[in-house]
Structure formats: C-alpha cells, structure tokens
Amino acid sequence: MRCTNARTYAVSNATNNAGATTGVAIVALLAVLGTAWGASAQEDEDSEVFSSVEAGASIFVRGDTDRTVVISPRASTSVTLADERTTVRGAYMADIWTSASIDIRTAASVRRPRQAGEGEGTPARSITEQRDQIDVSAQHEFDDVTIGASYYFSGEHDYWSHGFGLRSVQELFGGSTTFEESARFIHDTVGRAGDPNFSRPLESAGLRLVFTQILNPEAILQVVYDGTYRTGFQSSPYRFVGLGGDGQCAGTATLCIPEVHPNERVRSAFVLRARFAFGEAASAGLGYRFYIDDWGVSSHTATAQIAWIPARQQIITLRYRFYTQTAAGFYHSTYPELNPANPVRFVTRDRELSPTFSNRLAISYQGTARLTEDASMKLALAVGGTAFVYPDFVGLEEVYAVDATFSVTLEL
Amino acid sequence: MRLVTATVLLIALGLGGCVTIQPWERGRLAQPDMQFGGAEELAAAEAHATEVREGSAGGFDAAGGGCGCN
C-alpha cells in the first residue's frame, strides 16, 4: 500500500528479511536461467530454437528526506525464436522499502497512541515491506503487423494486482509511419493489515494509442494518447483526515475520519515527443505531456535530454524533467469541523492530490563490450536527483530524493 | 480537452505518410539513443517510483502495476 501503513507496528523483521532474501534469490535464479538458456542455444545451433537471448539483472536504490529508502532488484530475460519474429520476455522486480514518511508519521499518531516516554520529537517507527512484480509478454511479427500480449502480477501482503494487455503495431508507408494500439485490463484487490475481513476491489481499463512518424533520417516524432477508467476503492485504508484545527490528526484537529475518495476516475494523458540526431555522435530529445482527469487534477510534464556517443556502443545521457500539477477538486489542506447541515462528501490527506511540482536531473552511462564472437555484455549506470515541492500540504513542504540504478545484461 | 484532442489528431493525421524514408536511411534512427522508451533496465524502477508520487499517470512508457507503496 501507499506509505500510510499504520499497521500494527509489529511487522516482523524476520518476515521482511525473508521476503527480501526470496526476492534476491528469484532475481539471481532468473539471471542464471536466462544465461544458461542462452548458452544452451549457442551450443546447439543446429537445433535453431533461438536466434538471440538476453538476460539481465539490475538494482535500483532510492532515498529521500521523507525518511523513505527503496531497494528494487530486477531480473529480466528476453528470447527471440529462430524464426526471428517471435519474442518472449519475462521480468521479476521487487520493491523493498523502509519508510517513516509523513503519511506513516501522521497515521501513527492515530493508530498508535504516543507511548510513555515518547516526546513530540520522537520519530515514528519505520516500516519495512516488500512488493513483488512479475511481467511476462510475447509478441509475433507478421509482415507489417506485430501482435502481442502481456500479463503482470504485483503482490504485497495487503494489495494484489493482476494486469492483462493486448497490443498491435502496424507499419505504414514503408515503415516510415507506425501506429500502435494497446488495451489493458487490471484487477486490484485492496486489503488492510490486521483486518482479514477488509477487501475492496478496484478495476481499471485502459487504452493507449501511439503514432510514430519518421521526419527525416535524423528526426523522429511521436504522439501518444493514454486513457484509463478506474472504478472501485481508490482511497487509502490507512489514511485519516483531520477535521477542524490545523487539519492534522497529530495536531489540533477536533475529529479524525477515514479518507474518502470518489469510486470512479477517468484519466487522460497526451504526449508529444521527438528525437533529433546530430550526426553519429550526439542526439537530443524533447517531450511534453498534458494530463487531465475528472477529479480535477491536471498536470504538465516537460522533458529534455542530450545524448553523447563518445565511442562506438557507448552512450552518456543527461536528462531533465519538470512536472507540475493542480490539486484535485475535493482536496483541501485543512477541512472545517463537521457540520451535519453541510457534510463534506470527499476528504483526502493524499499529498499526490495536492498542488505540487518537481524538478529532476539524471545522468546515465550505457556501454556494450563484446565478449566473444557471439556474446556481448551491456553495462548501464544511472544517477539522479529529484526535488518535490508541496506548497499547500500541512506538515510537508519539500522532499529531496536521490537514486541510482546499475544493470548488467548479457546478450547471446 | 477537446482542443488538445483535436490538435493531437491533426498532427497525427497530417504527418501520416507525408514523408517516406527508405530503410537504408534509418540506421541512425535505430541507435539506442534515438529510442523513446530508453533502456528498460534503467527506466523500469525509476518510472514506478516517479509515478506513484504524482497525481497523474500514463502517457509515457508503462511504469508497472501495484499500488506503489514506496
């Protein structure tokens, strides 16, 4: 669940450590299996089962000033069959996070009364949890059409998600124009720690249309529409909203009630982005996204990147991202005291529904080294930093985050 | 909203087929730095961590499922 898990605060470290160990073990197993599969394919070329195999492993680490640390190991395998038209991919990723964020600190004040000897400055206990995600997909290329299907599962002890996707890509005008349509259906089950009777469904259906046009041998343009309809439980079962006072249950609010969000949401995003090459050694990219939904949130996202190719099969990329959004229509930093004559229908303490903006800067290196005539290894490293600003959220004004990703991919 | 939709559709329809670049001219466009999604092994976890901290979602490349607790 979101960082609002004010559960029993008796989360077993042993359980979490076991989960983390399991995740790392699965990552290692997938990487080894993928590599072995690829090696087998190479040794048995006469059978011509596979034309290429990739196996990779990566780790993402993120920390921020909101007392949250995330470690995400990931393993992936991609196999292209001998017909060179069919590709099967699989990936496993874990999110192992430890947090005492503002949500948890706020919820803790409601769900876990301050203990004897704990002063105002006593930090809330952190929570460690793990989310596991498995993605599998397959696609087959016909002459000018590619058809694909995908499935994912994401699981936590209090949130489970299954997603199914279908995708079609058509090449038009000799391949200079590409049109892609994909549909996705997601079924989530929202639970609540310590309450085995709490189970709420959340259904999502989405449509994505992607139009890609080659402008000239050194420029390409893409237009995207992405729409989603969600119906079901979309609040946090752990988050409480203070009525009256300063709006904080830990502060001077006179009453705390569970967060209530609307059950339906229609979301639309439009993207326009382009890439421009400057000879063989450099390129630039620009992107813009406009997002709007029927909760009243609208946002603008601008991206820019510059890539430098210092040597063959090596890329250094600098990326910048700016994001700004308006608040949901029912969001208020503070809510008035309960008035039976004029009840408030929806209340939230979700900072993601407050007005906010962020700036992100990241740099990455990707390099490929040939190991043998048939095998190569790709190394990638990325480091980034993000500054989030919440101008109208009581208790949190800014969050600064740094993250790093390292990956190794073997190509056979 | 309608204006944005109409603009996007016009751009798409207007550009479709107006330029044909031969396959042998697309070598530079096939390089990794010209791909929109970027390297998945670098982008997957970072995209998820970003999306769960924003009120908006979608449009860019898929960021995975689940509630996004981190």
Cβ atoms within 10 Å, residue A224: 24
In this complex, do B69 and A97 lie within 8 Å of one another by their Cβ atoms? Answer: yes
Handedness of CA B1, B2, B3, B5 (dihedral sign): positive
Reported as a single tens digit per residue, the pLDDT across A202-223 is: 999 999 999 999 999 999 999 9
**What pLDDT does A62 receive?**
95
Domain assignment present for A80: yes
Contact assignment for B48 to A228 by CB distance below 8 Å: no
Q: What is the number of domains present in chain A?
A: 1
Confidence (pLDDT) at A369: 94
Q: Is the pLDDT of residue B29 over 80?
A: yes
Please indicate, yes or no, if residue A338 is contained in any of the structural domains: no
Residue with token string 């694909």: A148
Residue at A258 is within a domain:
no
Judge whether A319 and A362 are in contact, CB under 8 Å: yes
Q: Is the dihedral of CA A248, A253, A257, A262 positive or negative?
A: negative
**pLDDT value at residue A255:** 86
pLDDT of B59 higher than 90: no
According to the 3-state scheme, what is the secondary structure of B39-61? CHHHHHHHHHHHHCCCCCCCCCC
Q: pLDDT at residue B9 above 80?
A: no
pLDDT at B13: 58
Enclosing domain of residue A140: 13-239+263-329+350-411
CATH of residue A379's domain is 2.40.160.40
> Domain for residue A339, yes or no?
no
A253 within a domain of the structure (yes/no): no
Judge residue A343's burial from the number of C-beta atoms within 10 Å of its C-beta, 0-12 exposed, 13-18 middle, 19 or more buried.
exposed
- Residues near A114 by Cβ (< 8 Å), separated by ≥ 6? A122
A224 to chain B: closest CA residue: B59
Strand partners, A169: A146, A180
Cβ neighbours of residue B9 under 8 Å, at least 6 residues apart?
none
User: φ, ψ for residue A69 (rounded to 5)?
Assistant: -125, 130
Q: Is A254 a domain residue?
A: no
Q: How many CB atoms lie within 10 A of CB A259?
A: 19
pLDDT number for residue A222: 96
**Spans in chain A with pLDDT lower than 50:** 1-20, 108-122
Q: Which of B26-61 are b and which e, b meaning 16 or more Cβ less than 10 Å from the residue's Cβ?
A: bebbebbbbebebbbbbbbbbbbbbbbbbbbbbbbb
**Nearest CB to B19 within list A211, A214, A225:** A214
Distance between CA atoms of residues A220 and B29, nearest Å:
8
ipTM above 0.90, yes or no: no
Q: Is residue A337 part of a domain?
A: no
Q: Residue A63: what pLDDT?
A: 94
Return the SS3 of A46: helix
Question: How high is the pLDDT of residue A15?
Answer: 41
Residue B3: what pLDDT?
A: 62
> Is residue A6, in this structure, part of any structural domain at all?
no
Residue A305 belongs to what H/E stretch? strand A298-308
pLDDT of residue A9: 30
Instruction: Residue window 4-63, chain B: list those with CB within 8 Å of chain A.
Output: 4-5, 8, 11-12, 15-17, 19-23, 25-29, 31-36, 38-42, 44-46, 48-50, 52-60
Check residue A117 and give its pLDDT.
46
Name every residue whose Cβ is closer than 8 Å to that of residue A211 and which is 6 or more positions away in sequence: A177, A178, A179, A180, A222, A223, A224, B12, B15, B16
